[in-house]
Amino acid sequence: MSDDSISIVRRCVTLDRTSKVPLYRQLYRDLRRAILSSQLLPAMRLPATRPLADELDLSRNTVQSAFDQLKDEGYLDSHVGSGTYVSQEVPDDLNRVRGQTHLRRSVRPTAPQRLGPPDESQLSERGKCLTDLQLSFFRAGKQPRAFQPGLPALDAFPLDTWSRLTSRRWRSVPGASLGYRQTAGYPALREALSEYLHNSRGVHCSPEQVIIVSGTQQAITLAAHVLLDPGDRVWIEDPGYPRATGAFQWAGAETIPTPLDAEGLDLEAAHARGADARLAYVTPSHQYPLGMTMSLSRRLELLTWAERSDAWILEDDYESEYRYEGRPIAALQGLDNAGRVIYAGSFSKVLFPALRLGYLVVPQALVGPFRAAKSLIARSPPLAPQMIVTDFMTEGHFARHLRRMRTLYADRQSALVEALEETVSDLLTVHSEKAGLHLTAFFRQSWSGRAVSAALQDQDIVAPPLSFYAAESLDRDGLVLGYGAASKDDIRKGVHVLKQTLLKRQP
């Protein structure tokens, strides 16, 4: 490897070792920027990871992670045995209208222009934080066959019932209800939800405390803006849900990655890392992504902490409806006597994600501020879908759909576990609770999850690496495998592709 390429790359990289942004992410960002601004030219060969790591005083894994991500996104190509190159056609170039005047005159662009990386000097401090967030591991493309986490069985959704309820509603909707609506959402839906949450999740609330939002994502963003000041500290689960971390960081909060043990969030570690935290974000019914359930004693400890420190707990109950064995575990909110828990639920997994409906249950004292925040962000939620969901719930379709889906997902989970055990048990260890829409599988060898995921995605299999969800490095990387939207046939074929992909990485 020529010293030249090392010094060219060296000039493109400025690392800030005091920043909260992980070093691999800074390196990825600088190299991407250099490629888009033609400091690194198409087909240029990059230095090997080891000498570059030495030059930049980084670990080789850090450089490898940045390279892997650039490869996943199409900025770099690697050829076995001959190194890593800048791609001939980098992704953002495909959408950029080049500077030739003849082209501008004769060709009207059909796609919207994308102009490469943003000019950060134009952004607010909050806006700058957005350029560093990586919220999804998937490349847009074909519908994957398996194993996209968090996606329910869209083909099993009773669309005929849904369309019947929809047309019935629109036939009879009074004109007067088409004006501006209540910020907190359709009253009949809030009533149906408070009853449902009481009966099925042990949540204590009046309909007044329920606020309809467009999915848990909006619930988390609202909570972050209503409850946190810039610089406030938030305990987040590590590994955890990147879109929650992103929402807290966007609100200016400092996220404190907190390890997990078999009982959930490790509170001793949380206190050691940030005793003055203002909020804890948790997924107690089915930790995302590792899957453990928070024990009762840990729940009580967390509630005691929140009460004593005047702090908040944001409970994300994203797929608690899916438990395939044993009794359902009641929500943390139902144990809270001090009004410290903000509860968030979603229709994304139990109905479908494109519906964009979810709900918050907030302590009585926070109803006013949350409603005002909701009103400023989106006024009221769209009326028609709320009406249809209300009918779906109150006329028994919801309960029926959930029963059918529990059987289907339990079946798909067993099919995946069996296929993994039969086919790849010498390469992976599988961790699976009898709940949810995904499981985790850890590599038995020290493979890079990003590299394995990228190779799988080239074969239309989506399986994000565990390291994508982790703020601190894991002892072993692995994959998150969703089975909700994959048929048994897709599961078998997917596991076969997984096996072939892993075998190629064997020394």
Is position 449 an interface residue for ligand PLP (rule: CB under 6 A)? no
The bridge status of strand 279-282 relative to strand 264-265 is unpaired
Is position 440 an interface residue for ligand PLP (rule: CB under 6 A)? no
Nearer of residues 26 and 249 to ligand PLP, judged by Cβ: 249
Contacts with ligand PLP, 393-432, as mask; x by CB under 6 A: ----------------------------------------
How far is 342 from 222, CA to CA, in rounded Å? 11
Is position 353 an interface residue for ligand PLP (rule: CB under 6 A)? yes
3-state secondary structure of 381: coil
Buried/exposed code over 414-451 (b: 16+ C-beta within 10 A; e: otherwise): bbbbebbeebbeebbebebbebbbbbbbbbeeebbbbb
Is position 217 an interface residue for ligand PLP (rule: CB under 6 A)? yes
- CA distance readout (Å), 10 to 30, 87, 132, 206, 297: 10, 19, 21, 60, 51
Is position 293 an interface residue for ligand PLP (rule: CB under 6 A)? no
Nearer of residues 346 and 413 to ligand PLP, judged by Cβ: 346
Is position 392 an interface residue for ligand PLP (rule: CB under 6 A)? no
Strands (E), 354-426: 358-361
Nearer of residues 270 and 437 to ligand PLP, judged by Cβ: 437
216, 316 Cβ separation under 8 angstroms: yes
Comparing every residue's Cβ against ligand PLP, the nearest one is: 215
How far is 478 from 453, CA to CA, in rounded Å? 9
- Contact range with ligand PLP by CB under 6 A, out of 215-223, 254-262, 406-414, 483-491: 215-223
Contacts with ligand PLP, 317-346, as mask; x by CB under 6 A: -x---------------------------x
**What letter would DSSP give residue 300?**
H
Residues 6+ apart with CB under 8 A from 255: 233, 234, 236, 245, 248, 249, 471
Is position 242 an interface residue for ligand PLP (rule: CB under 6 A)? no
Per-residue HEC secondary structure of 46-60 comes to: CCCHHHHHHHHCCCH
Is position 26 an interface residue for ligand PLP (rule: CB under 6 A)? no
- Contact range with ligand PLP by CB under 6 A, out of 196-204, 210-218, 380-388, 483-491: 210-218
Residues 6+ apart with CB under 8 A from 448: 61, 64, 65, 68, 465, 467, 477
- Contact range with ligand PLP by CB under 6 A, out of 121-129, 172-180, 212-220, 228-236: 212-220
Angle, in degrees to the nearest 10, between helices 49-56 and 60-72: 120
Please state the closest distance from residue 221 (CB atom) to ligand PLP, in A: 10
- Contact range with ligand PLP by CB under 6 A, out of 133-141, 182-190, 209-217, 454-462: 209-217
How far is 454 from 28, CA to CA, in rounded Å? 16
Please state the closest distance from residue 20 (CB atom) to ligand PLP, in A: 21
Nearest residue to 462 via CA among 136, 153, 157: 136
Is position 241 an interface residue for ligand PLP (rule: CB under 6 A)? yes
Nearer of residues 62 and 217 to ligand PLP, judged by Cβ: 217
Please state the closest distance from residue 217 (CB atom) to ligand PLP, in A: 4
The residues that touch ligand PLP, with contacts defined as CB under 6 A, are: 150, 215-217, 241, 283, 288, 316, 318, 346, 348, 353, 358
